[in-house]
Structure formats: C-alpha cells, structure tokens
Amino acid sequence: MKNSTFKWDARYETGLAEVDTQHKSLVELINHLGELRASGGSVADLTAALGALADYAKYHFSAEDALMQAAGISPEHSTTHRREHDQFLDQINQIIGEAQGEVMLAIDLLLRYLVKWLAFHILGQDTEMALEIAALQRGISPEVARKEAREHVMRGTEVLFDALNVLYDDLGASYVELSRAYAQLQQSSESRLKEAQRLAHLGSWELDLSKNHLTWSDEICRIFEIDPERFGASYEAFLNAIHPEDRAMVNQAYQDSLRTRQPYEITHRLLMADGRVKHVHERGKTDYDTTGQPLRSIGTVQDVTERVELEHELRAQAQIDYLTGLANRRHFIQQGELELARTLRFGRPLSLLMLDIDHFKAINDIHGHQAGDAALQTLAAHCRDALREIDIIGRIGGEEFAIILPETDGASASLLAERLRESIARQTMATEKGDEVNMTVSIGLAIHADGAAAKLDDLLKQADLALYQAKRGGRNRIHLFGV
C-alpha cells in the first residue's frame, strides 16, 4: 500500500500532548496493519501487532486515568471512560477468537475495529475528557465543565463525520489497489483472488455484450445473496436484483457510460429476500472494437453497507440533542423554516412557543447536575406526550425549548401553552438522592397571523422577548408577544 490507511489531522488533537502522542502511535499501528492486509501477513506479524496493541492499551489507559484523577474529573465520567477502555481489550480478544487462526481475517477485523475506535473514542470521549480537564484548570465548576465539554463534542460531530470519510475513502483506495492486482493474483492463484475479494468485500464482474452473458465472482454472489447455479446470468437479471427504487438510476448510469465511453461509478441499494437493505458501490467500464461497438463491460461491486449506516448514524447525532432526544437548534431551525414556508404558501396560521425552566441553576446547584439533566429530560418527555405529531419541538439552548405549532392561531396556542404550563407545574421529579423537585416553566408566545410575511428568526426573537416578560412577571406564567 503506497499511502497510509489513516492520515493524521491536527483537528484530531485533544490538546493534551501526552495523550496525542499515544494516539499517533495507534495511527502508526493502523497503517502497519493496512500494509499487512495489502501485502499479506504472517502469524509473527499478527503476534507483534497484538503485542503493540497491548502496550498501547496498558500505557495509554493508565496515563489517562492519572490525568483524570489529577484534574478531578467527575466520577461518572471517569467510570464511563474506564469502561470503554475495558471494552477495547475485550473486543480485541473477541476478534482474535472469531478469526479462528486465519491471520488475514484477524488483520482485516482488527483494522476495521481500530479505525472505528480511533474515530468514536478518541474524537469523542478523549476529546471530551481533554476539554473538561482544560475547563477545570480554568477554575470552572465540575458540573459546568462537564456540560461544556459534552456540548462541545456534540457540536463537533462534523469532525467525526469527516474522520470516518477519510478512513473509509483511504480503505477504499486500498480496495482499488487490490482490484488492480487481480491480474497478477489470477496468474499465481485463483484461491488467493477469492480470498482477497472476500476480505475486501469486493467482487468483480464481466458482461459479454455480444452474448448478453454476465459473469460474477463468488464474492458478488455472496453480496447479492444469490445462488450462482440458479442465477440467470444476464444484464436484466442483474437489474432485477437491485432495489426497485434504484433500478432506473443504475440502468441510466450504465447506459450513459456506454454512450459517452467513460467509466462510471454509483452507489445503490439491494433489497434482500427477507426485506433487509444493503448498500453497494459499483464501478465499471466498457471495451470497444475498432468500429466503436461495445464488446464487454467489466467492473467491481463493493459492499459499503457498514459505511453508509455509520454515516447515517453520524448525521441522527448531527440533528438530535444528545441529552433529550429532541431536535437540536440547527435541525429545529431547518424544520421550522420549511414549516413556515408552507404556512406562507397556503396562508395558514402558525404559532411559536419558547419555554424556559424556572430557577434551573438552583436545581443544578442544590441537587447536582444529574438532577438538572433529569429535569431537561423530564420536560422533553412531557412535551412530546402533550403535543401533536405535526408539532415541532427542539432544545435550542441550555434549558430553553422551542415549539412550532402549525395550523394554530393565537387563541388555540394560548390554551395549549396554559395546559402545558399547568401540567408541568403539577409534576414532581425525584432525584437519585431521593429528593423531590418541583419544576415550573415560563413560556413566551409569538403568533404568525394569516397573510403576514415573517421570518422564523423574527418569530424566535418575538417569542424570546415574550419569555423575558414572563420571567419578569414572576415566572411560571405565559406572556404573548405584543400584549
């Protein structure tokens, strides 16, 4: 492999020099495993790599424990962090057991696990740890330091997304190199070719256009979950194996390639017999005779289901508030702007509520930040239960929530807001220590009247001003903007 499997980026640094140095040593090990997977590895190579992993885990984890203890990081954070460390070693042992002595399979499984660990643990928990330590060193209280670190990491989800893209793009490059080596592998050993395809989840195909005969490698048959003896080997049979919603798109990409005489690549879905969906990335090109007639098409199909699902998960995180499960501020605004555009187009009413937990700081100070988190979660759950499916709710600040009520005029919005305020005030929340906490909210209400032009930002500002008036008026009350 000419290039590294993973290239270090300054954005991945935590700011703790000792920790970052150890992370870079793990990157070097990942790159070494990538080289072994491309060129072939022995039992001795695998044993050496496992020894390096054990050394990394022993020194790195103990160093982080010492840092957390010295800084005074919250016990629940350090406990969670150590649990992740234990799971790391357990997973390595499990991978070796699953490989059952197959060196190349063990190397492949290790590499896949380590790149995910690198992204999710180092760019997630380790970065959160470093930020919390830095905040504590500035004299910030442990509760606030923990909260700031957690929110910063969640806002940095894009870095995780970018990191996984880099990792999988570079892994994909190694797959391309494997496909380029197919000719040499065929000359030496057909079995080695099949093993390379199996490890890379990458199959090859060839379509004889004069006979409309399609040849698939064993790996493509495994990816498509098709019995090669029962598969009608033709282009039409291939199309029928594709997800019905993607068939036209795939066919168009191939036909355009024939017309322009250019290679093509496309990612599409497969629909399995039991309803499961897979995602594959396909590359292909066509050879032509001297008169310009297409003779044969060749290409590869790679199973990228794991990558697509990881990217999707990172996007469910980029839109959702980590604590309450509600839409975060950015996603709430995106949804709200779409709803407001629909409201303006059809000339319908719309209302916006801004909620704020009264005396939230006192809950944190008296009962601890865990009680504060529980209060936010309780409010979120209560709002979800009380609202309609068409209503849009999001956490847009620390203890601030916003609700968009489509098809709702001022009178109806006021009634709903009052019912919500009263029901929250009647609730009692129990803390982990057994204390009972009463919670109230203040609500600001802004109305978009029929036919009036407006921007979502204007409604948010109006609701925020109304919320401020509700707070000034004594809290646990509703205030309508402009009244």
Task: Supply angle C-alpha 88, 91, 95, rounded to 5.
Answer: 140
If 0-12 CB within 10 Å is exposed, 13-18 middle and 19+ buried, where does residue 327 land?
buried
Which candidate, 410, 310, 421, places its Cα nearest to that of 358? 421
CA distance 468 to 464: 6
Largest CA distance in the chain: 87
How far apart are the C-alpha atoms of 341 and 321, rounded to whole Å? 24
Q: What are phi and psi of 408, to 5 degrees?
A: -130, 120
Is 399 among the residues known to form the active site?
A: yes
Give the DSSP H/E element, type plus range, for residue 446.
strand 441-448
User: Could you tell me the strand order of the sheet in which 392-395 lies?
Assistant: 392-395, 400-406, 350-357, 441-448, 478-480
Q: Which of 18, 118, 23 is nearest to 71 (CA)?
A: 18
Euclidean distance between CA atoms 172 and 104, whole angstroms: 17
Identify the CA nearest to 392 among candidates 382, 381, 402: 402
Could you tell me the CA-to-CA distances from 169 to 4, 25, 26, 100, 165 in Å, in that order?
11, 21, 19, 29, 6
Is residue 70 within 8 A of residue 126, CB to CB? The reply is: no
Out of 229, 399, 400, 418, pick the active-site residue.
399
- Strands 478-480 and 441-448 turn out to be parallel
Active-site annotation, residues = 399
